[in-house]
């Protein structure tokens, strides 16, 4: 039996460079094609509804706490700034739906003001988040 020389062993090695190129190209593809969700940044105590439906297509969430604080893109905003912030987020990732996550103890006037600002930003479809009973 003939022993392999060191040179023959090196020639038989597998070249991993093309495989790494393919992996990096796939990584770039998945990063570019992923839709980024702009979450509100807080959890609220949503009201319960008998006919709540899931709405997975929205990428922008607005949260309203019981004390009237409005959270958008993981930071607190004023009611007057909701429209401008929504327009900025729409420029980054266009969508036709915004989900409002209002606490069940939040005041109706604040929720209506936020919805009005969202409509002024150009969004026609606004969904209110609720939990199933």
Which uninterrupted H or E stretch holds 55? none
Q: What is the pLDDT of residue 90?
A: 86
| Residue-wise pLDDT tens digits, 15-50 | 888 889 999 999 998 888 776 666 666 767 677 777
Q: How many CB atoms lie within 10 A of CB 86?
A: 26
Q: How confident is the model at residue 91 (pLDDT cuts 50, 70, 90)?
A: confident
Which comes out higher in pLDDT, residue 26 or 132?
26
Which comes out higher in pLDDT, residue 13 or 113?
113
Place of tokens 């989900």: 99
pTM confidence score: 0.65
Domain 48-132 sits in CATH 3.40.50.960: no
* Cα–Cα dist 21/8, whole Å: 26
Burial label for 80, CB within 10 Å (0-12, 13-18, 19+), is exposed
* Cα–Cα dist 27/31, whole Å: 6
The answer to whether the CB of 49 falls within 8 A of the CB of 130 is yes
Which comes out higher in pLDDT, residue 123 or 4?
123
State yes or no: pLDDT of 71 exceeds 80: yes
| Residue-wise pLDDT tens digits, 2-12 | 566 666 656 66
- 109 three-state secondary structure: helix
**Arithmetic mean of pLDDT over the chain:** 82
Which comes out higher in pLDDT, residue 55 or 84?
84
The answer to whether the CB of 38 falls within 8 A of the CB of 60 is yes
State yes or no: pLDDT of 66 exceeds 60: yes
Q: What is the pLDDT of residue 57?
A: 67
């Amino acid at each position: 039996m003939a022993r392999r020389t060191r040179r023959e062993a090196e020639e038989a090695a597998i070249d991993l460079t093309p495989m790494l190129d393919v992996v990096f190209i796939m990584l770039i593809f998945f990063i570019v094609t992923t839709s980024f969700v702009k979450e509100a940044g807080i959890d609220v105590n949503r009201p319960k509804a008998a006919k709540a439906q899931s709405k997975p297509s929205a990428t922008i969430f607005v949260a309203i706490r019981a004390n009237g604080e409005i959270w958008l893109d993981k930071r607190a905003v004023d009611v007057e700034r909701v429209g401008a912030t929504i327009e900025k987020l729409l420029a980054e990732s266009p969508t036709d739906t915004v989900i409002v996550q209002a606490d069940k103890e939040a005041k109706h006037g604040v929720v209506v003001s936020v919805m009005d600002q969202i409509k002024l930003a150009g969004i026609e479809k606004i969904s209110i988040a609720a939990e199933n009973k």
